[in-house]
Amino acid sequence: MKSYRRPFFFLAAMVAAFLISGCKNRTQTPGLSDERPIRIGFMICDSREQSQARFAPLTAYLSEKTGRKFEMVLANTYEFERLARQKKVDFVHVNSIIAVDLNKKFGLKLLAVDVRGRNGYKATGTIISRKGSGIKTIDDMHGKSMIFGPALAPFGYMAQYALLLRHGFNPETDFSYYAIPSGAAKHEKVIYGVYFGKFDVGAAPRIDLDKMIREHKVRKSDFNVIAESIPMPYCTIGVMPGVDPKLSQQVLDLLLNLKKDETVLVDGEVLKVLKRMWVDGFVKAVDKEYDPIRERLKLCNMAPYRKD
């Protein structure tokens, strides 16, 4: 009996090994290089789940078109300095404050800017009050309460803080108090905070105010726009030093030529890359156009120009 069992078990083992090998091969995306994956860090917007859904198509698209495996790294704004220092990201998609900070501290090269909203690849920050509140100017804001967006938000904090300072208004002493919301959907919290009267005034990115009006969450007639910043570069894709210049140029070319109807397969679903990312396209970043961001960071005593 043993003489019959041995060939049977040997054959069964060979078949099992073949099946396992086949399963492993099927998990690999055809045509991708075996080189180290390229890590692209995306700033979390509103929530990790929403950001995962927004940025997965672009990650898959870059993998498909370059033949290199791109891996998404989701991180909060304050985590990017550590990721850059530890060389855990090759490309990043971040707001313009983080882009300027990484550019100065680590030599990040600014590649492309998101195109979205009324100002294209630039955005503005507004200071709003509830219509009927009687607060129509910055001078009317003395002794009032204000809600800002996240402390590292260029158009939910920095732009408005700088507007106030340039008007001779000191947010640290001239408000009764101000607050910064916690948790997800912070820009919506700012707008709702003013809408429901919890705060007298708020610092809202124009793009988020427009979006909420377009989605009928609030009405344009509900608010006074007390002040608005100049347009400055929006969210930016950059590349860290040490990345192959040829790959960097290839990624830039792909971004600049990405069409609205371009699709990619993600988890068995065909998705439009730009639509899922909530952008209309990309334009090439021009370093000097970030100078207004740098000037306001200095005025507000914010990193990377903070003077303790």
> In whole angstroms, what separates CA 117 from the centre of its chain?
15
Burial 120-155 (b: 16+ CB within 10 A, else e): ebbbbbbbbbbeeeebeebebbeebbbbbbbebbbb
Q: What mean pLDDT is predicted for residues 232-255? A: 97
Q: What mean pLDDT is predicted for residues 40-59? A: 95
Residue type, position 123, single letter: A
Residue 70 has pLDDT above 90, yes or no: yes
Strands (E), 33-101: 38-43, 70-75, 91-94
Q: What is the pLDDT of residue 136?
A: 97
Is the Cβ–Cβ distance between 224 and 135 less than 8 Å? Answer: yes
In DSSP terms, 123 is beta-bridged to: 232
Q: What mean pLDDT is predicted for residues 105-121? A: 97
Task: Walk me through the domains of the chain, giving residue ranges and CATH numbers.
Answer: 38-119+233-299 (3.40.190.10), 125-229 (3.40.190.10)
Residue 163 has pLDDT above 80, yes or no: yes
Q: What is the pLDDT of residue 308?
A: 78
pLDDT-derived band of residue 183, with 50, 70 and 90 as boundaries? confident
pLDDT-derived band of residue 306, with 50, 70 and 90 as boundaries? very high
pLDDT-derived band of residue 165, with 50, 70 and 90 as boundaries? very high
Residue indicated by tokens 């003013």: 194
Residue type, position 197, single letter: G
pLDDT-derived band of residue 18, with 50, 70 and 90 as boundaries? very low
Q: What is the pLDDT of residue 56?
A: 98
Average predicted confidence (pLDDT) for the chain: 91
Q: What is the pLDDT of residue 31?
A: 60
Structure tokens at 165: 């300072």
CA distances from 190 to 95, 127, 129, 173, 187 (A): 18, 10, 11, 21, 5
Q: At what angle do helices 206-214 and 186-195 cross, to 10 degrees?
A: 70
State the chain's maximal CA–CA distance in angstroms. 99
